[in-house]
Structure 1
């Protein structure tokens, strides 16, 4: 004989992950950054969008404001410390503080053998992917130290920061460095209430990736075959993981690099 079914109570719907949060997103004009702007806004965040392509930022900001989000934007190159400082200060001037940041800006480059790469390729990748994260961390932490509740920072790394990718040495080196900066900052500022984590996306749909696949159609099939889920990620899937790490629901998570790769790094 079955026991009587307990009385059901309605489930309380949680509010958005980022309601009340002030968030800076770099590299916000396209790809994962633009997807993050839409996801974070939908989760209730007020946003500072930053990237090098100002016209695209203006269009995205207008779109999000039309949906009720509070958004400002600024043209910024993460490799330039003064640009980063200006973006961080814009958050404080506009909203009173900075709670979270998604340091997404980065570049890749075509694959090529190391001995065939020009020094300028290495310099360009390291300036954006490593110095850019360094600049962002320093200025974001500078203002978050004034927050009673600290803050949360998410750096965008790559599966290339967890294992080797053939013929992409500068990119792999840069993303390993991002993981190192993430762990170092997390350890240094944990007692100040500032959490620092990283997402490591697998191959993700973007303008650059679509163009790369069009020029190298065999690579798309190879990557899908090497990924247990058998597909390429949508930019929104990376943004959702970053939103959770930025939120208070990840309050005891710091210093980690989270693969968002369809199982690629498990193989």
Structure 2
């Protein structure tokens, strides 16, 4: 407990799944948390749960494609808690799926804008604030898809999430001298709303489950624990990494 005592964190994509569980875990470990997503009602419920458990949190609703949203998240952190130490940029979409010859330009661009550009804009403003206080930790949610395994029909998702690994390395190299660490987590299949929407049949879910060496998909709180490590001082010498948290999906194909 208290691994993030006196830290201030932003979590995007916090209304459900990995983001929600990570925000709760951050708060339980002592961080003051600014939670962001599009759905205000879900954010308000999350904030109420964190406060009821003895934590500190505020919500800012918005779209990660908007630079103004990321400015507002950082401003909320500074206004309410005085600083910013951690940015967990988790918001993402699967994007338009199907044969790549049929994917529209708009559909492809939307995945890039949410998953990659949105994460860049988040980090841009988070890092600018972190360097004022001696550094911090930025974490992106990438995926094993497009890194160690790809599905047919997932070009937009794979490209945008793979791009986060390059972004991670570039930012880690650029801001390491200012004590800003930048890392990515690469989950395998995780039991979230997105997973169920993409894998919309028992057959598809069984197929994805079978890709994992553990022969199950992960739970959001299991990914949250890996993010907690990267956010904490336990990872003080860890930067520029793409950390697989994938139940062994990267080492098996059956």
Unaligned runs of 5+ in 1: 1-14
1:56 aligns with 2:42: yes
1:88 aligns with 2:74: yes
Question: Contact 1:161/1:178 (CA < 8 Å) preserved in 2?
Answer: no
Where does residue 79 of structure 1 map in the other structure? Answer: 65
Shift of 1:110: 5.8
Where does residue 122 of structure 1 map in the other structure? Answer: 108
Where does residue 145 of structure 1 map in the other structure? Answer: 131
TM-score by length of 2: 0.96
Give matches, 1:122-201, under 5 Å: 122-148=108-134, 150-163=135-148, 164-201=150-187
Where does residue 11 of structure 1 map in the other structure? Answer: none
1:219 maps to which of 190, 204, 207: 204
Q: Which has the larger radius of gyration?
A: 1
1:39 aligns with 2:30: no
Listed one character per residue, the Cα deviations across residues 209-230 of structure 1 (whole Å, up to 9, x for unaligned) are 22444x3221111112211000
Where does residue 222 of structure 2 map in the other structure? Answer: 237
SS at match of 1:153: strand
**Whole-angstrom CA distance in 2 between matches of 1:161 and 1:151:** 28
TM-score by length of 1: 0.91
Question: Contact 2:147/2:162 (CA < 8 Å) preserved in 1?
Answer: yes
1:265 aligns with 2:250: yes
Question: Contact 2:33/2:58 (CA < 8 Å) preserved in 1?
Answer: yes
Shift of 1:85: 0.6
Listed one character per residue, the Cα deviations across residues 39-90 of structure 1 (whole Å, up to 9, x for unaligned) are 1111111100011101110011011100110111101211100111111111
Shift of 1:94: 1.0
Where does residue 20 of structure 1 map in the other structure? Answer: 6
* 4+ residue segments displaced more than 4 Å: none
SS at match of 1:224: helix
With 164-173 and 235-244 compared, the bigger mean Cα shift is at 164-173
SS at match of 2:191: coil
**Whole-angstrom CA distance in 2 between matches of 1:221 and 1:60:** 31
